[in-house]
Structure formats: structure tokens, C-alpha cells
Amino acid sequence: MAYILGFTFADGNVYNRTLAWDLKEDKELLLKINRAMDSTYPIKRGRASYRLRMHNPVIIHDIQKLGVNPNKTRNCRSPKISKPFQRHFIRGVFDGDGWIYMRKKRNEISTGFSNGSRSFLEDIVGMLNEFLNLTTNHVRERRKITRSGKKALVYQLDYYCTNALKILKFMYGDLIPQDLFMERKYKKYLEVKEFYEYILSGGRKYREVQKKYGDMKDLLYKLLIEEWLDGVQIAKKLGVHSSSIYRWLAKTGVRVQSPKKSDG
């Protein structure tokens, strides 16, 4: 329910006596929401989107009390969410109004949230800081042109590199089958996680050597243990400085075993 509430703050709409979600894709997520809410309302295919509409007055009343109303775009605030459910709420908001970027040429990843309410994003910052040690928490303004040609002011919360990975792991790590999430963004998270953890595995030279020769630990073991080369010789063979070799040996845990002393 925390996820659905967060997703509704981002991508839901309340008007008259109707609660609705319209998605261009991700029909499977609407099916999951329907099942989680024990709903039998149909999911209809429109010209450009899938639509789920509910007309239950109890649901409409409850969700409006939590802050989801027809004017939520500019003035919404996050309701009080119990700490164990905050990551699910944030994941719901992110699946509706978040993004993940990967810039391979710059060895950079980024993630963030967009919303029409600065206060709402500041509430998200507060929740994230309850769990994560983030180095930046800046909400900034961005002006854009809507599809209808109108000027609009939105607010963005951007995180990069290590901060971004922390947030993505917080939202999508260790999910269980009962958890709700958008499959498309979950797959992007796995792709970004693999890419950036590879970047964190070492510097540019480390990655170049590993790309050329294979797994670094196996390579160093072969050169150090099997071929009996020292650090300077390995560095010359691989075309790097010897200080890099000693850092890589420490990083991979490869070291020469001291010969056992004989009993005699």
C-alpha cells in the first residue's frame, strides 16, 4: 500500500469520484496494483495508454485524507509514513516520477526525482537521509515547455555516481515477490548497478588491463605465483607503474605465501 500511495502521488489522478492511473506502457504494473488492492476494475487500452480507474468512494475518501487530491501537483506534501515502509513509498514515487541515466563515456550514472511541489521533494530528501549518508541533497528549479506548448515550473532532485547507486540499491535491492515495482526501471537499475560497480572496481588502467587479459585476480596470481615475477617485472609486462601493481595486489588479495619452515 505504501508503494501504491507513492506511485499515486507521482502518476495518479483524483477527479470527481474517480481515482485513475494512465500509463503509456507498463500494463503489468497496473495489473499488480489491481491485485494488491483486491480490485476487479478493468484495465482499458486507450489510444496511447493503459488506464485503470476506480470509483470506490471509500478509497477516494481515504486517499484524499493522505494528500492525493485534484490540486496535488503544486501543493502536495508527503504523509507520515512508518519507517519500515518508507523505501516502498519512495520507490512508488520514483517509478512514477523518477529517472535513471547511464553515461558510459563519462563513467557516470545519475538518478533523480521530478515533481511540481518543492515541499514534496524536500520530504523525500528527509526520508532518504534517514537511511543513507548522501553528500548532496539539492532541490533545484527547472522550467520546461509542456506538450501543449505552455511554460511550466518543476522541481528536480538529482543524484550522481555513488549517491545514485546508494539510492537505487535502497529502493530496489532485496525485493521479495510480494513487493511492487516497475519492471522496466528495475531492469535499468540492474544494468546501471552492474556498470557502476565495474567502474568502482578500479581505475581506468585497471579496467583496461582486465579487459585485455581477463579477471585481475587470476592474472596477478598467474604472474606472481606461477611465473614468479615480482611487482616491478609485472608492471613492465603490463605497461603500468609498479605502484599500481602493489595496489592491485592489495585489492585482489593475491600475495606470495611464505614457505613453511621445516621441522628440522
Using DSSP's 3-state secondary structure scheme, residue 205 falls into helix
Q: What is the pLDDT of residue 261?
A: 45
If one counts every other C-beta atom within 10 angstroms of the C-beta of residue 173, the result is 11
What global pTM score does this model have?
0.77
Average pLDDT for residues 113-141, to the nearest whole number? Answer: 92
Average pLDDT for residues 238-264, to the nearest whole number? Answer: 72
Closest CA to 168 of 153, 146, 188: 188
Sign of CA dihedral 66, 68, 69, 74: positive
Greatest Cα pair distance, the chain, in angstroms, is: 93
Q: What is the pLDDT of residue 146?
A: 67
Which residues lie below 8 Å from residue 168, measured CB to CB, with a gap of 6+?
100, 111, 189, 192, 193
Residues 2-200: name the CATH superfamily. Answer: Homing endonucleases (3.10.28.10)
- 16-30, 162-176, 196-210: least confidently modelled range: 196-210
Q: Quick check: 257 pLDDT over 60? A: no
More confident residue, 248 or 164: 164
- pLDDT tens digits, 164-195: 999 999 999 999 989 999 999 999 999 999 98
- pLDDT tens digits, 194-204: 988 877 766 77
Average pLDDT for residues 100-126, to the nearest whole number? Answer: 92
As annotated, the residues of the chain forming the CATH 3.10.28.10 domain(s) are 2-200
